Amino acid sequence: MTTQLPPGLLTLADHEARAAQAMDPAAWAYIAGGAGDELTLRANAEAWPALTLWPRVLQPLAGGHTRVRLAGRELAHPILLAPWAHQRLAHPDGEVASALAAAAQGAGYVLATQSSVPLETVARAVLGEPGRGPLWFQLYWQADRGFNLALAERARAAGFEALVLTVDAPVSGVRDRERRAGFRLPPGMGSAHLQGAPAAPPAPGTYCAGLPAHAPSWDDVAWLQAQTPLPLWLKGVLHPQDARQAAALGVAGLIVSNHGGRTLDTAVATATALPRVRAAVGDALPLVVDGGIRRGTDVLKAIALGANAVMVGRPAAWGLANAGALGVAHVIRLLRDELEMAMALTGCRSLTEATPALLTN
């Protein structure tokens, strides 16, 4: 395992530049690329800095902190690691390294269905870590309800504390960069949790090769809630009407996400969707937002727009590629340090003071 950081990594952008050089080009295309012309991928990252802060001065700052409450717990800060697949593409330690880094930094961690490491291995590595954040399992809906329920039960039995159902990918996006690079998983690397998954039964017609016929529906969400005691979050909600419907079902929370720009190109940026989703649900649901978070100021703006916490995906991949668990921990620490400085410089002693009034537009 890497024991020191490479020199010159002072920002998340530094991590990105180094990871781009360090990784196999095809694997980099898979991790870094988006759908279509990558307009949404860019829009996510451009929307946060386009929002401008309106700082207050001479505010009382003694006793300031970054603590937040999420899912019934007090967390040291509002940063979680988003689920992303096949992490051994970036480092041999894969998801275990990322989970350990998150635990060491008090960050929440969401393990992907398409993990290259079994969920039980990850849980054993981090559940005993003091000060760790929440440990959640992301569920990609499979065509067989029984298989989904069995996977959810595996996660519960291993100690995972919530399910995160991805709802914005009934089919894969048109990922041109990935296809041009000819990306294929290396021999011996696969999805640890999908071995033995039943094949989807044939669907009539040729619409997207029949895949949407087996995509999850609102009825499936209600069914899953009734079958598992784990709190259920929905990841990939952008539209206020969908947010209201989710709230009516009583889900545990929503993750405002466009899949990092990897599914539908020209979909709305998450910074734009977030305040509309918050307005739709009021204070009824906790919201987490991902997509383009690259600076501590982005985290502060997300909280001001109504998020309870944020998730980062690609930056964790960069850190993992650069220095394994240490690199991921460094990415989290950079964001948290920058968040603290942004809070102090805008007059916020705690994140409860980060309201829409903090933004000029």
DSSP 8-state secondary structure symbol assigned to residue 5: P
**Nearest alpha-carbon partner for 161 in 280, 101, 84, 75:** 75
CB atoms within 10 A of CB 238: 23
Residues with catalytic annotation?
259
Say if CB 19 and CB 317 are below 8 A apart.
yes
Phi, psi of 110 (to 5 degrees): -115, 115
84, two tokens: 């992303």
Q: Which of 75, 58, 12 is closest to 344 using CA atoms?
A: 58
Inter-axis angle of helices 39-50 and 296-304, nearest 10: 80
Alpha helices in the chain (DSSP H): 12-22, 25-32, 39-50, 94-104, 119-126, 145-158, 176-180, 218-227, 240-249, 270-281, 296-304, 314-346
The candidate with the shortest Cα–Cα distance to 15, out of 340, 361, 356, 333, is 333
Distance CA 194, CA 287 (A): 28
- Separation CA 212–CA 112 (nearest Å): 21
- Residue 57: both structure tokens together: 């001065």
How far apart, in whole angstroms, are the C-alpha atoms of residue 196 and residue 51? 47
- The dihedral through the CA atoms of 200, 214, 219, 227 has a sign that is positive
Q: Which amino acid is at 306?
A: G
Rg (CA), the chain: 20
Nearest to 107 by CA among 79, 131, 129: 79
